[in-house]
Amino acid sequence: MTLRDPAEYSSHISFARICLYAAILSGLALIGLSAITLVPSAYLAVTKAALVLAWILITATIYSIRSFVIAYQCKRRLPQTYDRPCPEYITVATMFLILVTIFWPN
- pLDDT digits over 85-103, tens only? 888 889 999 999 999 988 8
Residue 23 lies in a domain: yes
pTM of the predicted model as reported, rounded to 2 decimal places: 0.83
How many domains are contained in the chain?
1
In a domain, 67, yes or no: yes
Position 1 in a domain: no
What would the pLDDT profile of 7-35 be if each residue is shown by its tens digit? 788 888 899 999 999 999 999 998 888 77
Residue 74: per-residue pLDDT: 87
In a domain, 98, yes or no: yes
In a domain, 74, yes or no: yes
pLDDT at position 37: 66
Question: Is 6:70 a contact under the CB 8 Å cutoff?
Answer: no
Q: Inform me whether the pLDDT recorded for 1 exceeds 60.
A: no
Indicate the residue type of 6: P
Residue 91 within a domain = yes
Expressed as residue numbers, the domain containing 96 is 6-103
Do 34 and 10 contact (CB within 8 A), yes or no? no
What are the tens digits of pLDDT across the range 35-82?
Answer: 776 677 778 888 888 899 999 999 999 999 999 998 898 888 888 888
In a domain, 39, yes or no: yes
- Please indicate, yes or no, if residue 72 is contained in any of the structural domains: yes
Cα gap 68→75, rounded to integer Å: 10
